[in-house]
Amino acid sequence: MKGARQKRNLALGAVAVTAGAGLGLGLWISGGDGNAADSFPDDAAAPSATPSPSRSYPMSRAPRTIPAVRSFAAARGPGWRPAHGERVVVGDASLADEGRLVAGELGLTYAGQQKDARAGDVRLERGGGSGGNPESYTMTVRDGRVTIAGPSDTGVFYGTRTLKQEVHGAGAAPEGVVQDAPAKPRRGFMLDMARKFYSADWIEDRIRELGDLKYNELGLHFSDDQGFRIQSDTHPEVVSQEHLTKAQVKQIVSLAAGRHITVVPEIDSPGHLGAVIAAHPDLQLRNAQGAPTEGAVDISKPQSAAIVDDLLKEYAGLFPGGFWHLGGDEYQALTVRDPEASYPQLAAAARRAYGSGGTVADLTTGWLNGRADTVRAHGRTPRAWNDGFFRGTSVQPAKDIEVAYWTGKELGARPPSDYLAEGRKVINYNDEYLYYVLGEPQTFVYPTGKRIYEQWTPRVIRGTDAVPARYDGRILGGSFAVWSDRAGAQTQDQVAAGIRMPLRATVQKLWDPGQPQLSWPEFKALAQKLG
């Protein structure tokens, strides 16, 4: 970790304390890699905090939250604790939803937009924050009141999560000033609800949990070989018996939006389409001997692209967020020694499309680009798994397709640095740390929060080694993922319990990839206290 600067403000009697340290020196914690997102401007690093006139109060201790706040300026004073009849007020009408939510959670009265100040108030305001980061916020506890300010509604919301956690864990918010912001803009949880059906209530419970932990993405992988789990009007024939209705999905999306979480849908293609193929067997890929290829559609047939595009367009109206996961992984035509010989129809289509040198990998890359065009037309940024990007192709994936890097075990595996050196944006789904695979098939074991907390950072994208620090700015963040390979291995409740500590450890390292101030036993005890 880079040497941090000590900050003192003796004139005001305030001492900046490192989050979680309890007393002492003021540090802006850096991830140690020179990334500007991991540090704060000089004028934000030592917030003014006027102490109580009474010296009978000890210097306050930093809030204990998950993720930990990144800076706290301590002061002498009683702090703030909720009391019956006290108000939550807002300085901007756009903060009404955040105000109502935290008022209900803390047992306060939501009083709307007000200009006056009363003892005990919690005031939410636009402005403040750090370094232009829209997810930053400042929380000031002074004179028996709390003010949470941020440059966006999202930053203010995260301030209310800090207040809620501190009140829940300690009964009160400490006197002083928190200034906080995440190091990484993408902090995600992905759920494979295709191979195992998860109820709407279970998903909504996870959204509430994720919101309190300051996650901002929920990925829903709802189509695979074993199931297609959301109602469809354009192709009802592909939908599994157990599925979510569109009304349920709208409720999920609405709840997520209220927690500042973007829902990122995924219809994986051209592999993992077994549920679609079950209703359209004519689209299944077959090799030169006529044997069917599991889960794969024949991308030489225009009808294959047509049905997938129908579904992408249909669900664009259901999922209004800015991102779309296209999958692109494990297309079985490219896992054989000689794809052109094994799948002559694909080879012929590649030559027609890209000339005499066209390959099956070129054709598959063209498929990915075509689906990216479809979602881009609806204002979405496309994303694909790293094994959907191939070496040595004459056709290149579109530059705006984000790389969801999960493994380095595929045929012709490319290290993360290859993508980063090309200037691509990468999201870390490292299967060594962040994959919770039901039933622990192959070499997978259930990840532990301890291992993530002590060993993983966003720069550890493949295996256990970190990529060079110079690439940190191209790593957008990371996502913890639940995969339902053996659907019956755990119940929904067991999954929720199993991912509880890994989720908390992951977001701590995405919010601040530096060495945590708390030991793992201390962090685990804090998580238990916060609930």
pTM score of the predicted model: 0.89
3-state secondary structure 161-222: HHHHHHHHHHCCECCEEEEECCCCCEEEEEEECCCCCCCHHHHHHHHHHHHHCCCCEEEEEE
pLDDT at 49: 42
pLDDT at 214 over 50: yes
Distance CA 234, CA 219 (A): 22
Counting residues of the chain whose pLDDT is more than 90, the rounded percentage is 86
- Phi, then psi, of 126 in degrees rounded to 5: -85, 145
Paired with 479 in beta bridges are: 188
CB contact burial 14-23 (16+ within 10 A = b; e otherwise): bbbbbbbbee
pLDDT tens, residue by residue, 118-161: 999 999 999 976 668 999 999 999 999 999 999 999 999 999 99
pLDDT at 45: 36
pLDDT at 454: 98
pLDDT tens, residue by residue, 51-108: 444 568 899 999 999 999 999 999 999 999 999 889 999 999 999 999 999 999 999 9
pLDDT at 108: 97
pLDDT at 212 over 50: yes
pLDDT at 496: 98
pLDDT at 202 over 90: yes
| 8 A C-beta contact, residue 169 and residue 64 | yes
Sign (positive or negative) of CA dihedral 126, 131, 133, 138: negative
pLDDT at 391: 87
pLDDT at 31 over 80: no
pLDDT at 41: 36
**In Å, what is the CA distance from 52 to each residue of 13, 14, 77?**
10, 10, 5
Name the pLDDT band for 304 (thresholds 50, 70, 90). very high
pLDDT at 412: 73
pLDDT at 56: 84
pLDDT at 308 over 80: yes
Taking Cα atoms as reference points, which of 184, 224, 208 lies closest to residue 428? 184
pLDDT at 20: 39
pLDDT at 17 over 60: no
| 8 A C-beta contact, residue 181 and residue 131 | yes
pLDDT at 513 over 50: yes
pLDDT at 25 over 50: no
pLDDT at 54: 54
Spell out the residues 6+ positions from residue 166 whose beta carbon is closer than 8 angstroms to its own: 63, 64, 65, 172, 173, 174
CB contact burial 147-183 (16+ within 10 A = b; e otherwise): bbbbbbbbbbbbbbbbbbbbbebbeebbbbbbbbbbb
pLDDT at 23 over 50: no
pLDDT tens, residue by residue, 367-416: 999 999 999 999 999 999 999 999 889 999 999 999 999 998 877 788 99
| 8 A C-beta contact, residue 453 and residue 521 | no
Mean pLDDT of the chain: 90
3-state DSSP assignment of residue 80: strand
| 253-258 average pLDDT score | 98
Distance CA 435, CA 456 (A): 13
